[in-house]
A and B are shown apart, each in its own frame.
Chain A
Amino acid sequence: MNKIIEMKNISKIYRAGEVDVPALKDITVDINKGTFVSFIGPSGSGKTTLLNLIGALDTPTSGILKVDGAETGRLSTKKRAIFRGENIGFIFQDFNLISVLTVYENVEYPLLMVKETPREKRVKIVNALLEKTGMLDQKAKYPSQLSGGQKQRVAVARALTTSPRIVLADEPTANLDHDTAFMVISLMKKMRDESGVTFIFSTHDPKIVGVVDIIHTLEDGIIMKSEEVTHG
């Protein structure tokens, strides 16, 4: 399988006042295209920091990080924004939908603002994604009118709008009940199967852990264990 993410000796150190706080220490890991990967670990273990680096929201202090062949740490802020718009989809724990936009407009937003896709194509893409996520009949509603599960389904659709190579999901089921969480995970897996997008999670939710292909366990900024999961 082709590598979509290559990390070699990645470290990330934050400065808190006069003190250096290492968030990631010497991480070396590769992620293949189309896999369903999860980083697990307790709070403060470095999961979100790692996702931020992969998502080009942040740059490593040292080491080499290549996302789809691009060394994102060397890109300018503007180029990283463009890179994110073209290659990365984000799913957040708090859904982070734009409250003033409808379901349809939230999903359409990246196509308009990031990719500037023509209207006809936009309508096609957005409706197809809303149909796949089961939100087509809710497209005129605003986020405040949706349940947590519905919001996260809209967030999944939004993450996939620009046909990204990678979707990063930071604790995507943390604010959902058991059934809803399971439904959202199933939806993401279905999307992965259909589109071949690489899904990378940070979680300690066993429901996600149970469906992923690879689990990387993080502790104090170090990958303690990497294991492939065989699904029966």
Chain B
Amino acid sequence: MGNLIKIAFRNLYRQKRRTLLTIAIISVGVIAVLLFSALSGAFKNMMVGQITDSMLGHMQIHRKGYVSSLDNLPLDKTIDAKQMKKMGEILDRIPRVEAYSKRILMGGMLSNYMETTNIKVAGINPKDESIVTPLLTSRIKKGEMLKKGEILLPELVTKGMNLKVGQSIVLIVNNVDGSVNGQNLKIAGIVESVVGPTGKYGYIHIDDAVTVLRMDEPEFSEIAIRLNKISSLDKVTRQISLEIVEMKNKEGEPIFEVHSWQELSPFYNIAKMIDLMSLFINILLVAIVLISILNVMIMAVYERIKEIGTLTAIGTLPGKIRTMFLMEGLFLGFFGSVAGSIIGVILIIATKFAHITIAFGRNENILIDPAIPFDQMALITLVSTIVAVLASLQPAIKASHMDPIEALRYS
């Protein structure tokens, strides 16, 4: 085997320029894939982070049918206090759940005593909400986080009605019976709107929501959940689904349902598209490696027909000739992908230090933080190397099956 490796190396060395060119082509392909994966991954993570950390949370629990009528914010599809207690017990048992925030959502009218506008409001516990949606605090452009008797208003509403922090407004809502109730609230702050559903909501304290809706005891519209790691989303979604499916109505049907952010936000499709583009880029890399190695190895076999004839004549077994050519392909693929990976990582680090920012939605100067997980990089290197070996297979088989007489006669 050692001699086969030596000969394979020497054969690559004798065509230095071609070898370097092939390695360079594979490297460029690997660099392109790594950079694209790192940048698109960073953009995707940033986008997902903006969506989940601003308002949505990683997942939400609703009464069945609530999400499909989300535009109306129905008050008759809620989670009552008893059910909430049970739900809390379930969530507290799951270590991957970092925090959860109970919300009461409502639609209503906002009046500054001179003019009115419609508004959607979320009743929250500020402490829980700040953990589940950590970007909420940073979205407060003016003022501060609300307390009881206060409201956070979306920027667009305050601009339209010329409202200022500290001013009083009246929030008018219909309760579940249809009667109209109103409550005076002080503007605690102005929140920046975010893209996506629920991105233009105002916030009040959950106790104020219970009061204005004239609830005897709190009834929640949704529970927003934050996980320790978003990577465990599918696992936890499944686990919670399995647990809450046991909570059934009189007809024996599950009362609640779990939705991950992917099901709640249309931006999931963009994230999927990014993944699809990554896949296409990866396929492109495979094609680059395949074609360049195949081309080089076919040329190598044709150039060395007489040599193959000599090797066969002196008794070299076909398997060894095959292995020799496969090794050349293996080395080309391996060195090409390793060189590409090293350069790719250097470029990713350089991009990190370049502090490239982009605008997303209403947020400008969002820092792109490209990163490539080691396992993904190892996978790209491994796939490129395997593809290189596979591309060498046909020329290697051809060489090993060559008729020695024909090969020796070749000139």
Contact present for B3 and A112 (CB under 8 Å): yes
In the assembled complex, how far is the CB of residue B330 from the closest CB belonging to chain A, in whole angstroms? 17
Separation in Å of the B133 CB from the closest CB of chain A?
65
Known: A96-B310, A100-B13, A113-B3. A81 touches B315 (CB 8 A): yes
With A57-B404, A100-B10 as given contacts, are A110 and B314 in contact (CB-CB < 8 Å)?
Answer: yes
- Which residue from chain B places its CB closest to the CB of A89 in the assembled complex? B314
B interface: dominant SS: helix
Stretch at the interface among B109-117, B221-229, B316-324: B316-324
A101 within 8 A of B: yes
Q: Separation in Å of the A167 CB from the closest CB of chain B?
A: 11
A114 to B314, CA, bound (A): 8
The answer to whether residues A99 and B314 also contact, given A57-B404, A92-B408 and a CB cut-off of 8 A, is no
Contact check, A57 vs B313: say whether CB atoms are below 8 A apart: yes
Instruction: State whether the Cβ of B7 lies closer than 8 Å to any Cβ in chain A.
Output: yes
Give the nearest-CB partner of A93 in chain B.
B408
List A80-106 residues whose CB lies under 8 Å from chain B.
Answer: 81-86, 88-90, 92, 94, 96, 98-101
In the assembled complex, how far is the CB of residue B15 from the closest CB belonging to chain A, in whole angstroms?
Answer: 10
State how many angstroms separate the Cβ of B299 from the closest Cβ of chain A.
16
Residues from chain B with Cβ under 8 Å of A58 in the complex:
405
Once the chains bind, are B320 and A113 in contact (CB under 8 Å)? Answer: yes
Q: Is the beta-carbon distance between A100 and B7 smaller than 8 angstroms?
A: yes
**Contact in complex: B316, A114 (CB < 8 Å):** yes
Query: Which B residues contact A (CB, under 8 angstroms)?
Result: 3-4, 7, 10-11, 13-14, 306-307, 309-318, 320, 404-405, 408
Which residue of chain A has its CB nearest to the CB of B307?
Answer: A98
Contact of A82 among B7, B11, B14, B315 (CB under 8 A): B315
Residues of B within 8 A of A226 (CB): none
* Inter-chain contacts of B317 with A (CB < 8 A): 78, 81-82
Partner of A81, one of B3, B11, B306, B318: B318
Report if A180 contacts B (CB, 8 A): no
A-B contact pairs, 28 of them (CB 8 A): A55-B313, A57-B404, A57-B405, A57-B408, A77-B318, A78-B317, A81-B315, A81-B318, A82-B315, A82-B317, A84-B313, A84-B314, A84-B315, A85-B316, A86-B315, A92-B408, A96-B307, A96-B309, A98-B311, A99-B307, A100-B10, A100-B11, A101-B10, A109-B3, A110-B314, A112-B3, A113-B315, A158-B314
A138 at the interface (CB under 8 A from B): no
Query: A78: which B residues are within 8 A, CB to CB?
Result: 317-318
- Which A residues touch B306, using CB under 8 A? 94, 96
* Closest-CB distance, B8 to chain A (whole angstroms): 10
Question: Whole-angstrom distance between the alpha carbons of A188 and B197 in the complex?
Answer: 92
Partner of A90, one of B3, B7, B313, B320: B313
What CA separation (Å) do A130 and B13 show in the bound complex? 26
- A84 to B313 CA separation, bound complex (whole angstroms): 7
**Which residues on A sit within 8 Å (CB–CB) of B405?**
52, 57-58
Bound form: Cα–Cα A112–B306 in Å: 20
CB distance from A82 to the nearest CB of B (A): 7
Chain B residues whose C-beta falls within 8 Å of the C-beta of A83 in the assembled complex: 315
Beyond the given A58-B405, A83-B315, A99-B307, could you list 10 further A-B residue pairs with CB under 8 A, ordered by the A residue number? A89-B314, A94-B306, A96-B408, A100-B14, A110-B314, A112-B3, A113-B3, A114-B315, A114-B316, A158-B314
A92 touching B314, Cβ below 8 Å: no
Q: Which residues 43-92 in A have Cβ within 8 Å of B in the complex? A: 52, 55, 57-58, 77-78, 81-86, 88-90, 92
Residues of B within 8 A of A158 (CB): 314
* B315 and A99 form a contact (CB under 8 A): no
- Distance A158 CA – B313 CA, assembled complex (angstroms): 12
Smallest beta-carbon distance A58→chain B, Å: 6
How many Å lie between the Cα of A114 and that of B70 in the bound state?
77
